[in-house]
């Protein structure tokens, strides 16, 4: 618990302090990273705590963003729009999830991919609502009742607060009884079923929660970018988020956050310097996988192992003679 407070404190300090170090674009990029971090955490929850690897998670993100764009034409109220984005995404996740969780592993990956592509096709074809392939502009304004939030810095803080809020929320959920049961189901489904837990209900719960959170991230993104297009639900976007999660470390909450940050920064940086950004990014991915030890969050564990094990072995060496001595004595 102390550690959790510590990390939350670090997050709060970095979120509030960052703008003093960053210039305009840095703030914009950090804002986007917070939104993506929320998105990545929602997938991280699904992958790392429930063992469900989805390649269509962007669908819920897009649902959130499109909700703000489409409903925003009629109702210009942040509370209603964001709330409906969360509810709609969550409900659709609940509905589709009840069908999808019948499948497992690779089939689950594929059926979620198909779902994302279905939405992609819909966003593309329902031109009158979504603007089709040309996308549509978001007309809703970011106004919580005390004036429109338009300056990049204000948006930055808003997204930063949302990010910390979601992090705390997820941390609480993961450590709650339901969260523990879900983790247990991932590790040993048959045992948990034998213990009388409804495996499917818990899986569905996580899937819906992850969907609702992705919808929340999507609605923020709609406000941030003021433009939505079908690319938001394309499988490559789902793939990118998956990279962020695996990149950062599956099974932790802060891992996907770091993954999102590093991925977006890398993608931006490399492409600014060279046209061969795909080659370099791809090579970095390959390298990171080979030496990555399951995500950057675990690198430290690796270094520590090397470092502490040396100490440890010394301890073993020193303790061994004592045991031998004891044997001799007895």
Partner 1 sequence: MSIYIVQLLTGVAYGMLYFMIAAGLTIILGVMNVVNLAHGAFFLLGTYFAFTFMSLHLNFWLALLLAVIVTAILGIIIEKLLINKLYGKELEQVLLTFGLTFVIADCAKWIWGTEMQTIAVPELLNSSITIGEMVFPAYRLFVVLVGCILAVILWYLESRTRVGAIIRAGVDDRAMVAALGINVRLVFTGVFAFGAGLAGLSGVLGGPLIGMYTGMDSDILVTSLIVVVIGGLGSWKGSFVGAILIGLIETLGKIWFPSLSMLIVFLLMVVVLMIRPQGLYGKVVSQ
Partner 2 sequence: MRKTKWKFIGVMLLIVVMILSACGNSGESGDAASQDKIKIGFILSDSGTFAPLSENIKNGFKLYLEQNDNKLGGREVELIFEDDEANPQVALRKYKNLVGSEKVNFLVGPISSSVVYALRDEVEKDKVILIDANAAGNDLSWDLRSDYVIRTSFSNWQNGSSAGSYIANNIGKTAMVIAPDYPAGQEVASAFKESFEASGGKVVKEVYPKLGTNDFATYLTDVSQTNPDVVYAFFTGSDGIRFVQQYNDFGLKGKIPLTGPMEFGDLLIVEPSGDSAEGIVSGIIYSPWIDNEENKQFVEAYQKMYNKLPNTFSVQGYDSALIIDKAIKEAGSVDTEELVKVLKGISFDSPRGPITIDPKTNNPIQNFYIVENVKKDGQVVPEVIETIENVTMPETNPAK
Site for partner 1 in 119-178 (CB under 8 A): 121-122, 124-125
Which lies closer to partner 1 via its Cβ, residue 139 or residue 278? Answer: 278
Spatial distance between the Cα atoms of 81 and 212, rounded to a whole number of angstroms: 13
The verdict on 255 binding partner 1 (CB under 8 A) reads no
Binding segment (CB under 8 A) for partner 1, from list 99-107, 140-148, 160-168, 204-212: 99-107
Nearer Cβ to partner 1, position 121 or 172?
121
Going by the DSSP 8-state scheme, the letter that residue 148 receives in this structure is B
**Whether the Cβ atoms of residue 161 and residue 155 lie closer than 8 Å to each other:** no
From residue 262 to residue 301, the character string flagging contacts with partner 1 as x (rule: CB under 8 A) and all else as - is --------------x-xx-xxxxxx--xx-x-x-------
- The alpha helices in 176-298, defined as continuous H runs, are 177-187, 189-194, 199-225, 235-248, 254-273, 277-291
Q: What is the contact mask toward partner 1 in residues 58 to 97, using x (rule: CB under 8 A)? A: ----------------------------------------
Pairing of strands 227-228, 136-137: antiparallel
| Count of beta carbons in the 10 Å neighbourhood of residue 202 | 22
Of 189 and 301, CB closest to partner 1: 189
Q: Which of 14, 76, 104, 139 touches partner 1 (CB under 8 A)?
A: 104
Interface stretch with partner 1, choices 69-77, 234-242, 307-315, 318-326 (CB under 8 A): 234-242
Return the axis-axis angle of helices 152-175 and 24-44, rounded to nearest 10°: 20
Determine the Cα–Cα distance for residues 197 and 202; give it in Å rounded to an integer: 8
Cβ 248 to partner 2 shortest distance, Å: 10
Q: Which of partner 2, partner 1, none has residue 12 at its interface (CB below 5 to 8 Å by kind)?
A: none
Cα(290)–Cα(300) distance, integer angstroms: 16
Shortest distance, position 271 Cβ to partner 1, whole Å: 12
Please answer whether residues 183 and 251 qualify as being in contact, where contact means their C-beta atoms are separated by less than 8 angstroms: no
Q: Give the residue among 251, 223, 232 at the shortest CA–CA distance from 46.
A: 251
End-to-end Cα, the chain, rounded Å:
44
Q: Which residues bind partner 2 (CB under 8 A)?
A: 3, 6-7, 10-11, 14, 18, 21-30, 32, 124-125, 127, 132-135, 137, 225-227, 229, 231-232, 234, 254, 258, 261-262, 265, 268-269, 271-272, 275, 277-278, 296-297, 299-301, 304
Find out whether 237 and 123 touch, Cβ atoms under 8 Å: no
Nearer to partner 2, 91 or 265 (CB): 265
CA angle 314, 317, 320 (to 5 degrees): 145
Q: What's the closest the beta carbon of residue 309 comes to partner 2, in angstroms?
A: 12
Collapsing DSSP states into helix, strand and coil, what is residue 69?
helix
Output phi, psi for 197, to 5 deg.
-85, 140
Q: Is 117 in the site for partner 1 (CB under 8 A)?
A: yes
Number of C-beta neighbours around residue 18 at 10 A: 18
Q: Is 38 helix (H, G, I), strand (E, B) or coil?
A: helix
Using CB under 8 A as the criterion, which residues of the chain lie in contact with partner 1 when the complex forms?
Answer: 47, 53, 99, 102-107, 109-111, 113-115, 117-118, 121-122, 124-125, 189, 235-236, 239, 242-243, 246-247, 250, 276, 278-279, 281-286, 289-290, 292, 294
């Amino acid at each position: 618990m102390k550690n959790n407070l510590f990390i939350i404190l670090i997050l709060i300090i970095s979120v509030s302090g960052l703008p003093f170090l960053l210039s305009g674009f840095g703030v914009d990029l950090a804002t986007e990273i917070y939104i993506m971090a929320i998105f990545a955490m929602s997938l991280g929850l699904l992958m790392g705590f429930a063992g469900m690897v989805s390649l269509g998670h962007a669908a819920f993100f897009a649902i959130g963003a499109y909700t703000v764009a489409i409903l925003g034409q009629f109702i210009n109220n942040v509370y209603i729009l964001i709330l409906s984005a969360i509810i709609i995404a969550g409900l659709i996740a609940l509905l589709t999830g009840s069908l999808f969780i019948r499948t497992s592993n690779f089939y689950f990956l594929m059926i979620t991919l198909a779902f994302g592509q279905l939405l992609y096709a819909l966003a593309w074809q329902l031109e009158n609502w979504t603007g089709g392939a040309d996308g549509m502009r978001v007309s809703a304004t970011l106004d919580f009742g005390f004036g429109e939030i338009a300056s990049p810095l204000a948006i930055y803080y808003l997204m930063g607060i949302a990010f910390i809020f979601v992090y705390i929320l997820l941390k609480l959920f993961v450590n709650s009884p339901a969260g523990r049961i879900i983790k247990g189901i991932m590790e040993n489904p048959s045992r948990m079923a034998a213990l009388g837990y409804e495996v499917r209900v818990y899986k569905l719960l996580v899937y819906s929660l992850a969907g609702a959170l992705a919808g929340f991230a999507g609605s923020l993104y709609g406000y941030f970018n003021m433009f939505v297009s079908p690319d938001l639900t394309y499988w490559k976007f789902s793939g990118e988020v998956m990279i962020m999660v695996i990149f950062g470390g599956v099974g932790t909450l802060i891992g996907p956050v770091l993954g999102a940050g590093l991925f977006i920064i890398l993608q931006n940086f490399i492409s600014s310097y060279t046209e061969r950004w795909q080659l370099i990014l791809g090579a970095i991915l390959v390298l990171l996988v080979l030496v990555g030890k399951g995500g950057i969050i675990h690198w430290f564990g690796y270094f520590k192992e090397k470092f502490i094990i040396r100490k440890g072995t010394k301890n073993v060496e020193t303790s061994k003679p004592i045991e031998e001595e004891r044997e001799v004595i007895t």
